[in-house]
Amino acid sequence: MKNKPILITTGDLNSIFFEIFFKALNIKIKSPILLICNKNILQNELRKIKLKKKIKFIDSLELININFSNNYLYIFNVDLSEKSNKFSEAVIEKNYIKDSFELAFGIIKKGLTNKFLNGPINKSKFLNKKKLGITEYIADKFKCKNVAMLIYNKKLSVCPVTTHMPLKIVSNKIKKNLIISKIKLINNFYTSILKNKPKIAVTGLNPHCETIYKENEDKMQVEPAIKNLQKKGIRVDGPFASDTLFMKYNRNKYDIIIGMYHDQVLGPLKTLFEYDAINITVGLPFLRVSPDHGPNISMVGKNISNPQSLINALKFLDRI
């Protein structure tokens, strides 16, 4: 298949997805799009716009014999009619997201595409306490134990060693081998997929990489991990104090900054680039991306949501 299709799930039923999706469709991409959604909701949304592409409704069995064209928007219907009278809205939405993911994973496992994009999801409504985020949920479905969350921008990307984890347990998770495995994954992704040997900076865990306690994670875990990776030829430096690493003079030296926890690196990156970044799960047997923002329910129906992150996600998958 010359241009494998981009497979998309909409995420939450109540979100800004369709608004930003229709705005994003104005860009030119070579890859056909397969959208998994509810047919009735889609048709309601289509009444608000003029769509240039033709719509083709298909089911998974028909996929085998389809010659995909980017002149069409291909739709897989996720039926809600049988559920609407039996369950609460919260259960319906949770089942809708789960059914959408299961259909997408089935299509990926058949080898019909290796490009997957999911719309924004409110994790607290969909996941149980055993799964920290959508990254971990998808990794578990494909039995991938070693994955990394890369928030990607051409100028600067970031990756937290721990993801959606309460701060009170982060320090116990910061181990040399975990840091090494994350950085190896990211380095391999850049060299094999992006064809770029990256320069990587690593933050410390503690303020100024110092602590009043006897056990200093930066000295005992982070530094040995960096030295190990340097011996393997990976271009990595640190640990650096995170309060100054994102200053212009410092960050301009690097392609990626690896942090010890989520907000340590995502906060600065979103301040710098706002919606001009995408979320990539590294370590899966396919390419999974998502917009780097949530469902934003407060913006639904106002037609003012910024589609830039979704546009970036589509462009990224289209050129890979």
> Domain limits at 176?
148-283
Establish whether the linkage from the previous residue to 239 is cis, with ω within 30° of 0: yes
Q: Are 269 and 222 members of one domain?
A: yes
Strand-pairing partners, residue 200, are 236, 256
What pTM value is reported for the model?
A: 0.92
Q: Interior CA angle at 117 toward 115 and 118, to 5°?
A: 150
Q: What per-residue confidence (pLDDT) applies to 130?
A: 64
82 — pLDDT class (breaks 50, 70, 90): low
Q: Are 199 and 97 members of one domain?
A: no
Average pLDDT (5-22) is 92
Ordered alpha helix ranges (H), 133-240: 134-141, 167-173, 176-192, 217, 223-231
* Among 121, 125, 103, CA closest to 35: 103
pLDDT in tens, 33-56: 999 999 999 998 888 888 888 899
Q: Are 117 and 183 members of one domain?
A: no
pLDDT over 70 at 83, yes or no: no
85 — pLDDT class (breaks 50, 70, 90): low
Residue 195 CA to residue 45 CA, distance in Å, equals 39
What tokens appear for 290 in the block?
Answer: 């998502």
* Among 274, 285, 279, 283, CA closest to 313: 279
Q: What per-residue confidence (pLDDT) applies to 91?
A: 84
pLDDT over 50 at 75, yes or no: yes
pLDDT in tens, 120-171: 998 877 876 666 789 999 999 999 999 999 999 999 999 999 998 889 999 9
Q: Report percent pLDDT > 90 for the chain.
A: 68
Average pLDDT (237-252) is 96
Q: Are 47 and 118 members of one domain?
A: yes
Count structural domains, the chain.
Answer: 2
Average pLDDT of the chain to the nearest whole number: 90
Q: What per-residue confidence (pLDDT) applies to 1?
A: 44
* Among 160, 133, 134, CA closest to 149: 160
Q: Are 206 and 312 members of one domain?
A: no
Q: Which residue has the higher pLDDT, 294 or 105?
A: 105
pLDDT over 60 at 195, yes or no: yes
CATH number at residue 64: 3.40.718.10
Cβ pair 223, 180 in contact under 8 A? no
117 — pLDDT class (breaks 50, 70, 90): very high
Q: Can you spell out the DSSP letters for 184-207? A: HHHHHHHHHTS-----EEEE-SSG
Cα 237 to Cα 157, 180, 288, 309, 315, distances in angstroms: 15, 13, 28, 29, 31
Q: What per-residue confidence (pLDDT) applies to 30?
A: 92
pLDDT over 60 at 63, yes or no: yes
Average pLDDT (242-254) is 96
Q: Are 134 and 193 members of one domain?
A: no
Q: Are 126 and 180 members of one domain?
A: no
Least confident interval from 89-98, 232-241, 261-270 = 89-98
Q: Are 20 and 102 members of one domain?
A: yes
Q: Are 133 and 101 members of one domain?
A: yes
Q: Are 230 and 293 members of one domain?
A: no
Q: Are 51 and 97 members of one domain?
A: yes
Cα 208 to Cα 96, 156, 203, 302, distances in angstroms: 45, 22, 9, 43
